[in-house]
Every structure is written in C-alpha cells, then in structure tokens.
Amino acid sequence: MKIPFEYNIRNLRARPLTTGLAMGGITLVAFMFAAVLMLARGLEETMARTGSPENVIFIRKGTDGELTSIIPRDIVSLLQAFPEIALSPEGKPAAVAESVVIINLYKKGSSDLGNVTVRGTSPEAFRIRPQLRIAAGRIFRPGTPEVIVGASVARRFQGCGLGQTLSFGGRAWTVVGILDARRSAFESEIWGDAELLMRAFGRNGAFSSMTARLRRPGDRETLRRRLESDLRLKEFQVLNEVEYYEAQSKALALFIRILGLTITWTFSVGAAIGAMITMYAAVAHRIREIGTLRALGFHRRDILLSFLTESLLIALAGGGLGIGLALFLQSFTLSTTNFSTFSEVTFGFRMTPGIAFRTLAFAACMGVLGGSLPALRAARTRVVEALRLE
C-alpha cells in the first residue's frame, strides 16, 4: 500500500518556512549551475555563428588560428584558382584573403585597455558571408584609410562611434560604418582594407588566412587532398569555417565550465546539507505520524519513498525556480579575452533545453542526497517507540 502523493504535498504546505528555506538554497545553486552552462554555451554559439557552413578557411598547419598563420601572396593565388571554389557573378573566385592583427583600445568610461582584432579584408567578404550587414553608415572604400567597426566594439571602446577617428598602425582611420554580424565574433572586430592595413603593420608579404565559398559542400575533402598532394601547399590546411570558429572557443568554454562548476559543486554541498537539515527536522516533528502510518499497514519502503519524494519535490521546485531566474540572464552580455585569439569577444547567456534538463537533474541529485539519510531514519522508526506516550 503506497502513501498518497497528496499527503506529501500537504506536508510541504504545512511547513512553509522550512520548505522555503531549503528550496531557496537549491534555487541559488541551480541558478549558478544553469548560469555557468549558459555562459559557456553562449560563447560557443557566438563563435559558431561567426562561420558559414558553405565556407572553408585556409590557414598554415601547426597554428592556433589566423593570428599566427601566414599565407604568402603566391600561395593565395594558387588557392583561388582551385576549381572547387565558387565563382562570383562577375566570374571571379568567391574568396577573400585576410590579414589579422591585435591592437589596444581604451574602453569607454575607464582607463583600461582591451585587445581588439583588426581584420584587413575587402568588400568581397560580404558576398561570401551573407549573414553580415552594415547597420549604420557604409562599407569602407578600398584603398582609403576607412574602417567599419563591429556593433560590440562601437558600444564598448572609445573613438569607435560612427564618424570618429581611430589611431593605430601609425595612421588615422575614419569609422564609416557599424557592422551587424548577428551577435557573432565579427561584432568584436574592426574591418578595413587589407592592403592598407598590411602596409601599416609591416605585413606586405603575406596574409593570415583565406576564406572561400565552395561550389559543393563535399568539395572540402577534394581540397584537402589537393593540398596534401602539392609540395607547395603541404604546409597549409583547409577547415570548415564553422568548425574552425567553434574550435576557437573550446579552451575558454572549458575554462568557464571547470571554474564555474567547481564553485557550483562546492555550494551544492551546502544546499544538500540544508535540505538534509530540513528533512531531519520534519522527521523529528512527525515521529508519531510515522508510527501511525506504520500501524495502518504502510511498509518501511513506503515511508522511505514518501520522505524521499518530499525532498525531491523541494529540489525540483528549487531547480525550476533557478532555471526561471537564469532565463533573465539572456538579456545580458559580457566580454572576456578569448584564449585562442588573445582579443576580447562579446557574448551572452544562452539557455537550451539540454541545459534546463541538466539543471533539473542536478537539483534532483541534491534533493536525493539531502533527503536520503532523513528518509532512512524515518523508515527505521519502530512503531512502539513512535507511538509511545511521553
């Protein structure tokens, strides 16, 4: 004979203070747990949105990314001539060679410096990355000291507003446009003419990477074989653009998860202890009630499951409330230094069904751990002792 579920609900309602305190502790830990996972997921999605599945990127082997990669001009010409690369309406290769450097800019409202990626590119970049658009102003004109800045850079750094002037690379650059990159990592970059930027930073002889749009999705493997079979190209590799940018976020996302979850697990011990104290208090105040249930024919396992159910209900309610609070984090953004690029990247919190499920499971574990010992004590209570008059 099982104890009715309504019995557990009434018991929790009868002790609103202790139930609320236990639920509050689990809510806080569940909120932190969800926030950490949302932060790491937000970074990964920001980097993944940066690339396009139809594009590939060529970089030198053995490098961590574009910043340390070098592709000579003659190699770029060879790569652009491959038949696997799509053609523009004008019959030109749908590819753009780019140069990447890091500069320091002052953040708005402070004297702190931040690392910002400067990408030397060309207007062709907008053709192979159709997800990009100019939110305000216009695109830079090739051959002129004009730049466009990502929306995140415009918000966070001094001198990056439309019409303002930036000084780097030994010359002044006029901001003529604001780049909307759909919350991708490109919004944390400054773009300008590749040839001018390369001369400004003394990199005339080589680009950092080349991005191209393929004729067919399966052509990447053909390109890889071409690179392996040509002695001039063995030092270079071709990667899917989405996979490349996802890899750029792995180190930082892993660091966020390890640090955040370590702190969260530490707090979870306190939350589990709080639930345990609450359930022990419930057992102590309900000794006669437990004895009555045993006298009515309920088995020890029924008592055990009943108290575990109450602890699990507290935990799931706290977990659900923690998820609800974490949803509000999606309206916030923050920036940090990407370990792979050494530049600042702006990203936000991102809730997914998987994160919500893991948060509820984590809360349930706290509830089960916190309620197991008190439930065992309740189940082992003897009928005679429980009903003995004081």
Evaluate whether 122 touches 96 at the Cβ level (below 8 Å).
Answer: yes
E strands present in the chain: 55-60, 71-72, 95-106, 113-121, 133-137, 146-150, 165-168, 171-180, 189-193, 206-207, 209-213, 236-240, 333-337, 344-348
Could you write out the DSSP letters of every residue in 340-382?
TT-SEEEEE----HHHHHHHHHHHHHHHHHHHHHHHHHHHT--
Mean pLDDT of the chain: 82
Residues 26 and 108 in one domain: no
Minimal CA–CA distance to 149: which of 168, 131, 135?
135
Q: In whole angstroms, what is the distance from residue 29 CA to residue 272 CA? A: 10
The residue segments making up the domain with residue 354 are 5-48+249-387
Domain count, the chain: 2
> What is the structure's pLDDT at 111?
80
Residues 281 and 255 in one domain: yes
Residues 76 and 155 in one domain: yes
Average pLDDT, integer, range 166-189: 90
Residues 37 and 64 in one domain: no
Residues 29 and 65 in one domain: no
* AA letter at 331: S
**Single residue among 165, 194, 216 that ends a domain in this structure:** 216
User: Mind listing the pLDDT tens digit for each residue in 21-42?
Assistant: 778 888 888 898 898 888 888 8
Residues 331 and 382 in one domain: yes
Q: Is residue 104 assigned to a domain?
A: yes
Q: Is residue 100 assigned to a domain?
A: yes
CA atoms within a 13 Å half-sphere pointing along the CA-CB vector of 360: 10
Which range among 82-96, 110-124, 211-225, 367-381 shows the weakest confidence by mean pLDDT? 367-381
Q: Token pair for residue 233? A: 């190209």
Average pLDDT, integer, range 304-328: 85
> What is the structure's pLDDT at 41?
86
Residues 123 and 24 in one domain: no
In percent, how much of the chain has pLDDT > 90?
23
> What is the structure's pLDDT at 315?
84
Q: Is residue 377 assigned to a domain?
A: yes
User: Mind listing the pLDDT tens digit for each residue in 284-315?
Assistant: 666 566 666 656 666 667 767 777 787 788 88
Residues 188 and 155 in one domain: yes
User: Mind listing the pLDDT tens digit for each residue in 51-66?
Assistant: 788 899 999 988 878 8
- Residues in CB range of 350: below 8 A, 6 or more apart: 38, 41, 42, 45, 330
Q: Token pair for residue 381? A: 């209570």
Residues 63 and 204 in one domain: yes
Residues 202 and 261 in one domain: no
Which range among 77-86, 238-247, 349-358 shows the weakest confidence by mean pLDDT? 238-247
Q: Is residue 240 assigned to a domain?
A: no
Could you write out the DSSP letters of every residue in 217-235?
TTHHHHHHHHHHH-GGGTT
Average pLDDT, integer, range 74-84: 90
Residues 74 and 210 in one domain: yes
Which range among 83-87, 110-114, 176-180, 191-195 shows the weakest confidence by mean pLDDT? 110-114
Residues 265 and 192 in one domain: no
Minimal CA–CA distance to 103: which of 145, 153, 162, 141?
153
